[in-house]
Structure 1
Amino acid sequence: MKSTTTTAAAPTIHHADFVELHEDVSHSPLWNADLAPTTLAQRTWSTWHIAALWIGMSVVITTYQLAGGMISAGMTWWQALITILLGNTIVLIPMCLNAHAGTKYGVSFPVLLRSSFGTVGANVPAMLRAIVACGWFGIQTWIGGEAMDVLIGMMFPGWKTLTTELIGLQLHTWLALLLFWGVEVYFIIAGLEQIKHLESWGSPLLLIGGLALLGWCVWKAGGIGPVLEGSVKLQKEQHNFWAIFPLSLTGAVGYWATLSTNIPDFTRYARSQKSQMLGQALGLPTTMTLFAFIGIAVTSATVIIYGYPIPSPVDLMAKFNSIAIVLFATLIIFLAQLTTNLAANVVSPSNDFSNLNPRLISYMTGGLITAVIGMLMMPWKLMGDYFIGVWLVGYSGLMGAIGGIMICDYWVLRRQQLNLKELFEPKGRYSFSGGVNWRAIAALVLGIAPCLPGFLHAATHGKIAPPEFLKVIYQYAWFVTFGLGFVLYWLLMLGHPSVAADLEER
């Protein structure tokens, strides 16, 4: 998504919800066409466009697996459903708050970060967000590759004989994974415009496929009652709802904690504040909850049908003997993973990497960097036992602190007042000390610190054993770091000259 700025020397123009930059800042080393603020003419996304974006990003296999994982951990169907709805309702609040600046000023996430972290310091949170996006890119690629591996194995039995092991994966799995990855790289190079035709098909097909799978489970298990009874049966065997609820809720919040920070990358194209808020409220919690229900019901049904929960649709797909069914399922997964990955996990890191050196790193280059790092992060490990307790909860601690600092800076301290031109000035009011606002960095580090021991405990499967209260703090990682980041930044920034300068322009 590219934006351009005009070269007229007129002052900044205010228009209702919008601020448009008319000064020429293209000479700045902090500017390139991808990071430039959107013009009024480019802010055309309606409520439907924003809602459709969320529908497309929510109807994806990992939504299904998030819900299925809660069933496997011992929740009943209604407990898992409420947990996911609650988590998405909570994360919707910072989502809409951070989206406001994108809509008003037309700026992307890394550019907005300059007001709080500094023109150079913004790269710290931007890179943290970018690395998380790379991990998600790898995870979605892994799921697409898995589906292709199952399909090719059914069509060509000799495929499974390619069993040489490389970095924990067999050769046939590597080939399928690289095939899917290569398709994604093609679209990154060709540009996101090329994927628009697929976007209109991917999510609806996945929804149809999910409903078909749900129908099969209802038929196989003997009705919707027995289907949902599967989760109740599993919980009776485990009895651990309150033990897993905090971690599961934080995981549900963490699932979209990433987008709650970089949502300006999308809402910079919104038609109005009403469009972005209503579109998000309609698109995010409803779609996530509805599609999660399919994952919940199908995983519950597998307890009745097979005697144990199968939270992965790819693993369930492998149990079918019909090539036609597996082909249809693979096509659905292929389109859904492709469209969602390129929308949710390429746009943000591409902008973030570009922000490192706007003159050298373009949007396409940033996308290619994302694709490579995503594979190096070994997503097949992230999708194992690490998915909720380590991956989702772990990075939620990073995103919570960043989100708390951003909201405090924009809403409490600056009261939605920024100087758009100064965001592109290397030695302007947002340069702080050498381009870095140490107060924001300190708030970020101190906000994250209490959750680090718990993360290490989870990541090492208990080999590192901190005090019990630190393990409990980690279970609420996003909430803890959001609150600490917000309060610490507020205390450190009170009376700062850059804040006073922005407020004087109100």
Structure 2
Amino acid sequence: MTETVPTDSPPPAAQVTLPDGRVEIAPGAPVPSGPYANEDLLPVPMEKRTWTTYNFSALWVGMAHNTASWTLASGLIAVGMDWKQAVFTIALANLIVLVPMLLTGHAGPKYGIPFPVFARASFGVRGANLPAVVRALVACGWFGIQTWIGGEAIFFLAGKLFGDSWANAGHIGGYAWTMWLSFAIFWVLQVAIIYRGMETIRRFENWAAPFVLVGAGVMLWWMSDKAGGFGPLLDQPSKLGWGPDFWTLFAPALMGMIGFWSTLSLNIPDFTRYGRSQKAQTVGQALGLP
């Protein structure tokens, strides 16, 4: 079977292949144009593929350390697991999802292409619009969830500073208007970074990752202090044991953890297309996600 190429598609651009196997449009060659090409979909030129191992590790530190991740972990504790079972479930899920993440991410540094273009290999030029739009809709929902959680963080922190007048302000739609304001502030902060492009995201994550790790360490120290030391935190027994009760819960819990990052395992080329090499994206992700 051969795929029918749309008659209005541009002719394939000349390309060059580097000794390490990476491919780019040949210098001076005509840039693809037409309805199936735009600035966001064009291959990233080699001089802009600058992300290093640290950049990818820092990206994952920033993405994995968030309130939603901690909520998943604490949820496993709440349903009866001890900390060892919860960490085992989450770590195994991350290692499983890392495999397709690295395989899909391979196309990024090699061709400099994002996910919507990579999907054309499986779905065709027009058919790739379906997975791209579906992924975008999931991203919109996920962005909203994360933004609401971030807004809650601002709301509660501001409440500690300003007191009851902030927390008990007039309600709109069941929430204080200050909660909606906090949501809007967090939304604007994120969009301001995203709007400036991937290079700004790279620099932001480079600085944010160390602060996130330090912040996580401070929170761990605070929790252990409130609990009276690490002993009470680590000695809590499992309510499920390691018998049938645990394994019955383990399967859906594992799938929930996998589902947490499964969509990103599809569109990871959106990030890896800026990778300096295959080693940078492979080692960086392998260090960062688990």
Query: Which TM bucket (shorter chain)?
Result: 0.7 to 0.9
What letter corresponds to residue 11 of structure 1 in structure 2? A
Contact 1:77 1:228 in 2 (8 A): yes
Partner of 1:14: 17
Is the aligned partner of 1:78 residue 2:78? no
- TM-score of the superposition, structure 1-length normalised? 0.50
The alignment's C-alpha RMSD in Å is 2.3
Measured in 2, the distance between the counterparts of 1:191 and 1:268 equals: 14
Q: Paired residue for 2:126, among 117, 120, 125?
A: 120
- In structure 2, the residue matched to 1:496 is none
For the 8 Å contact 2:168–2:176, the answer to whether it is kept is no
User: Residue type matched to 2:81 in 1?
Assistant: M
Cα distance change, pair 154–196 in 1 and its aligned pair in 2 (3 A): same
| Deviation digits for residues 335-359 of structure 1 (CA, Å, limit 9, x no counterpart) | xxxxxxxxxxxxxxxxxxxxxxxxx
* One-letter code aligned to 1:131: L
Q: Select the residue among 55, 62, 65 that pairs with 1:59.
A: 65
Rounded Cα–Cα distance in structure 2 between residues aligned with 1:14 and 1:191: 27
Amino acid at match of 1:275: A
Higher helix proportion, which one?
A: 1
Shift, 1:171, TM fit: 2.6
Distance 1:121-1:26 versus aligned 2 partners, 3 A rule: same
| 2:4 aligned partner | none
Q: Which residue does 1:268 correspond to in 2? A: 273
What are the ranges of 5 or more consecutive residues in structure 2 without an aligned counterpart?
1-11
SS of match in other structure, 2:78 = helix
Question: What residue in structure 2 maps to residue 42 of structure 1?
Answer: 48
Residues 165 and 171 of structure 1 are in contact (CA less than 8 Å); yes or no, is this contact kept in structure 2? yes
- Secondary structure, counterpart of 1:256 in structure 2: helix
* Sequence identity percentage: 48
Aligned to 1:160: 167
Closer, same or farther: CA 17–51 of 1 in aligned 2, 3 Å: farther
Which position in structure 1 is the counterpart of 2:255?
Answer: 250
Greater displacement, 82-91 / 170-179: 170-179
Give, as a single letter, the amino acid of the residue that structure 2 aligns with 1:12.
Answer: Q
Alignment of structure 1 residues 104-253 onto 2, 5 Å? 104-156=110-162, 157-166=164-173, 168-191=174-197, 193-194=199-200, 198-230=204-236, 232=237, 235=240, 240-253=245-258
Cα distance between partner residues in 1 of 2:37 and 2:289: 32
Q: Structure 1 residues 272, 213: closer, same or farther in 2, change over 3 A? A: closer
Give yes or no for contact 1:60–1:206 (8 Å, CA) kept in 2. Answer: no
Q: Distance in 1 between matches of 2:284 and 2:204?
A: 22
Question: C-alpha displacement at 1:257, in angstroms?
Answer: 0.8
Could you tell me how far 1:44 is from its partner in structure 2? 2.7
Q: 8 Å contact 2:55–2:206 — kept in the other structure? A: no
The TM-score normalised by the length of structure 2 is 0.85
Report the alpha carbon displacement of residue 186 of structure 1 after superposing the two structures with TM: 3.2
SS state at 1:20 partner: strand
Where does structure 1 differ by over 6 angstroms across 4 or more consecutive aligned residues? none
CA drift at 1:82:
0.7
Question: Aligned in 2, Cα 1:252/1:275: closer, same or farther, shift over 3 Å?
Answer: same
Q: Which amino acid aligns with 2:71?
A: Q
Contact between 1:17 and 1:103, CA under 8 Å: does it hold in 2?
no
Report if the CA contact (8 A) 1:12-1:21 is conserved: yes
- Select the structure with the greater relative contact order (CA < 8 A; seq sep ≥ 6): 2
After alignment, is 23-32 or 196-205 more displaced?
196-205
Post-superposition Cα deviations, 1:376-408, rounded to whole Å, max 9, x if no partner, equal: xxxxxxxxxxxxxxxxxxxxxxxxxxxxxxxxx
Amino acid paired to 1:273: Q
- CA gap of 1:89–1:10, structure 2 versus 1, over 3 A, is closer
Kindly state the Cα deviation for residue 65 of structure 1 after the two structures are TM-superposed: 1.7
Q: 1:42 to 1:197 in 2, by over 3 A?
A: closer
Q: Which amino acid aligns with 1:50?
A: F
User: Structure 1 regions of 5+ residues with no counterpart?
Assistant: 1-8, 286-506
| Number of residue pairs aligned between Structure 1 and Structure 2 | 273
Preserved contact between residue 12 and residue 19 of structure 1 (Cα < 8 Å): yes
Q: 1:24 to 1:85 in 2, by over 3 A?
A: same
Deviations 1:397-425 (A, max 9, x none): xxxxxxxxxxxxxxxxxxxxxxxxxxxxx
- CA positional deviation for 1:139: 1.6
- Partner in structure 2 of residue 417 of structure 1: none
Aligned-pair CA distance for 1:256: 1.4
State the alpha-carbon separation in 1 of the partners of residues 272 and 196 from structure 2.
24
What does residue 75 of structure 2 align with?
69
Q: What letter corresponds to residue 247 of structure 1 in structure 2?
A: P
Q: Measure how far apart 1:119 and its partner are.
A: 1.2
Residue identity in the other structure for 1:76: D
The structural deviation recorded for 1:193 is 4.8
Q: 1:103 aligned to 2:109?
A: yes
